[in-house]
Amino acid sequence: MVGVDIDSPALAGRRPRRMRTTPVMRRLVAEARLGVDDLVAPLFVREGIEAPWPIESLPGVVQHTRDSLRAEAVALAELGVPGLILFGVPERKDATGSGAWDPDGIVQLAIADLKAEVGDSMVVMADLCLDEYTDHGHCGVVDQAGRVDNDATVDLYRRVASAQAAAGVDVVAPSGMMDGQVRAIREALDGDGATDVAILAYSAKYASAFYGPFRDAVDVTIADGGDRRGYQQDPANAREAAEEIRLDIAEGADMVMVKPALTYLDVIARVRDQVDVPLAAYQVSGEYAALHAAAERGWLDLNAAALEQLLAIRRAGADFILTYFARRVAELFAQR
């Protein structure tokens, strides 16, 4: 305790270990808790396949067919997982990522499938970006110099938001880190009468080295060596991330996100102290794959390590966590 004399009579005989003597005592005094209600499952759906395709760099994760996606959503709902977020893998890509707003695009079809299957028993979210759909792998359209055109990209995000809302999505999740994207998306949704569709903004998305397996999962190869540092956050900066989040909230974000989670626990904690809206964190593909790789070599217990990391993210202040461990952890909770 700050400013307290540990030799004072009031603290005489105090032993903190008394609070750790039994499992039930530890439960009673736990400062942070992790439960199935804190989990959101990222799911991939691929156009033009007849059976799920395993993703080698993400053990236990697959690119789903529309049918297998429905089955997975039902299983997650039965385990009590409250939400999922969709990422699409189209058969064809182009310079503008037009499949992202095609009414018959894979994510729009999958949203409609899921809402028909699970209804309001799960929150169906959809990633709102262009990188899965562009042939150059960037999160927006590029100009003649190969740079992402912020304003032209934001105009297309409006179209994506409208398409996802028309399909029945509950939450759109813009992840491109374009300036003004939240305001533009909110205006598009409200203009369509989709005022109940919420926005989960990837507000502090860092240009991280931990995204490699995800790019395998969505078949993305980024032009110019994969450099997104011009629009994603600099890993050196925390105050700037807090400002990005403040701006997104001012533009109409209902929820905000820090991504990745584990290497940015300080940012999560800083943001939690500064904002009152729901705060998400994304335990990203590289963080997930690293635990699996170590566990496969016998270097750690996968379940224990996953639970510890997720609890740390909650302790830092995240209200919910996007994690590829969602089903595994929900099954562990169901066994207790």
Does the residue 21 lie in any domain?
no
pTM: 0.92
Does the residue 9 lie in any domain?
no
What's the domain range around 125?
Answer: 33-335
- 194 Cβ partners below 8 Å, 6+ apart? 162, 165, 166
Does the residue 25 lie in any domain?
no
Does the residue 311 lie in any domain?
yes
Query: In this structure, are residues 140 and 152 in contact, taking their beta carbons and an 8 Å threshold?
Result: yes
Catalytic residue among 186, 259, 270, 314: 259
pLDDT in tens, the chain (336 residues): 455 555 666 655 667 788 888 888 888 888 899 999 999 999 999 999 999 999 999 999 999 999 999 999 999 999 999 999 999 999 999 888 999 999 999 999 999 999 999 999 999 999 999 888 888 877 778 888 778 888 999 999 999 999 999 999 999 999 888 899 999 999 999 999 999 999 999 999 998 888 888 777 776 666 665 567 777 788 999 999 999 999 999 999 999 999 999 999 999 999 999 999 999 999 999 999 999 999 999 999 999 999 999 999 999 999 999 999 999 999 999 998
**What's residue 30's pLDDT?**
86
The CATH number given to whatever domain includes residue 271 is 3.20.20.70
Say how far apart CA 29 and CA 22 lie, in whole Å.
11
- Taking residue 316's Cβ as centre, other Cβ atoms within 10 Å add up to 22
Does the residue 326 lie in any domain?
yes
Query: In this structure, are residues 165 and 186 in contact, taking their beta carbons and an 8 Å threshold?
Result: no
**What's residue 78's pLDDT?**
98
Does the residue 2 lie in any domain?
no
148-152, long-range: CB < 8 A, 24+ apart: 148/178, 148/230, 148/231, 150/178, 150/179, 150/180, 150/231, 151/180
How many residues belong to the chain?
Answer: 336
Question: How many domains does the structure of the chain reveal?
Answer: 1
Does the residue 250 lie in any domain?
yes
Catalytic residue among 158, 186, 205, 314: 205
**What's residue 45's pLDDT?**
96
For residue 259, indicate whether it is catalytic: yes
For residue 115, indicate whether it is catalytic: no
Say how far apart CA 7 and CA 13 lie, in whole Å.
10
Does the residue 102 lie in any domain?
yes
